[in-house]
Amino acid sequence: MRFSVQHLSFFVIQVESRDGQAVKSYKHYQTLDEQEYIDSEISKFLDGEFTRTAKRKVEKNPNSEQPPTKIGRFIVEPGHDLDSNPNFNLFLRLRTTDNKEDYKNACDDLLRSYLDTSAVRGGALIIVQSVLATHLDDPFIFVFKCDFEQKIARISDEKSLVSQVEMAINAKNMKSIQYPYMPEEGIVEDWELKIHQSSHARYFEDFLKFVTYEQSIPEIVNEHVMEFVQTYVENKWPDSSHEERHQEERELELWAASDKRNLQEKWEPEQVVEAATRIIEIKPEIEIKFKLGETFIKGFLADYGDKIHLTKLRDGYAVIIEGDAFTFDKSYSPVELLQPESFRSVSERLLQSPNVADDDLEEE
């Protein structure tokens, strides 16, 4: 996958604090055409970044709530075309411009729009129009943002040792926008773009006000679980004025809002399996993670009730995990030399413990 740069505009953004307010400004350094780019130092700096950005893996429904790479889709009102979206029009103008001056002016408009956002930091903004060598009629726009690096120095001489480098940038932590999104080489999605940024920041999401993003898998799962919970409450207490229902709803609301949650002991195993089955239809690889005491357990939700079992034991809980083989990491442990007891032997020993509750024995 080889990209050929048609135009590139290089800007430097400065953010200063005055009277407690952030004052933002920018300066246009150069706009280059294809040959000027080839002969420039910036071509060495960006070498490989276009292919790396285009090939960077991304999912429409990411596995984490704040992934660094996302696919965005332009928002339009029902009955309206794509050109009714202001963000799309910015990129369309950049894609279709074929001379340096018009391209520089189009980049100016994008940069001014970007400066209106709250997350702007000082650095270099590089806006590139390029084409795939195999698809010359379908330009791409790459927007690269490099924040200024702090405490960067170069070795100077034996007396002063180092000298401070001002306005240093690094391609390693570069944020990017690619439009249009290319799921496969040569296949483009005009309605979609790809952004890459620090997972905790919203550099480009605030800038792209008319772009939406699909829900992450955790968000989808949370939404489905809350739907199941609401159905459970409504079925158990059809009368919405019932005091027990209100109490249950308050408890579940507190449970849902907590970062760390305990086992609620409300549903039967069959109800959990039914809800889990419907959730894994969305994505079979959805994980389940929890801690029992100080032990962290991670597996697939699909394995609950089949290979992962939760049970009560004495005044606490136990987890039973089934599998074909154990795998240990590089550090040695005497446990690796174990000849395992039978499950029956272990369960009988646990049940015969003097601390086992009577309920556990009766259930057995």
Length in residues, the chain: 364
| CA-angle at 82, arms to 6 and 126, nearest 5° | 30
pTM, rounded to two decimals:
0.77
Q: Please identify which residue in the block is written with the tokens 């005055």.
A: 18
Distance CA 208, CA 316 (A): 50
If you write DSSP's letter for every residue of 260-308 in order, what string do you get?
A: S------S-HHHHHHHHHHHHTT-TT-EEEEEETTEEEEEEGGGBTTTE
Asked whether 107 and 126 are in contact (CB, 8 A), the reply is: no
pLDDT of residue 364: 47
H or E segment at 79? Answer: none
pLDDT at residue 133 in the model: 81
Largest CA distance in the chain: 85
Burial profile 2-23: b = 16 or more Cβ within 10 angstroms, e = fewer: ebebbbbbbbbbeeeeeeeeee
Which pLDDT does position 34 carry in this prediction?
Answer: 92
Identity of the residue numbered 311: T
Look at residue 119 and give its three-state secondary structure: coil
For residue 205, which of 168, 180, 177 has the smallest C-alpha distance? 177
Q: Across the 364 residues of the chain, what is the mean pLDDT of every consecutive 10-residue run?
A: 92 85 89 93 90 92 86 94 95 93 95 86 92 84 88 75 75 89 90 86 84 89 87 87 87 84 89 90 88 93 93 90 91 91 92 63 51
Q: Where are the domains of the chain?
A: 3-214, 216-266, 283-364
Q: What is the pLDDT of residue 240?
A: 83
pLDDT of residue 53: 93
Render the burial of 212-228: b for 16+ CB within 10 Å, e for the rest. ebeebbbebbeeeeeeb
Residue 29: helix, strand or coil by DSSP? Answer: strand
CB neighbours of residue 355 within 10 Å: 10
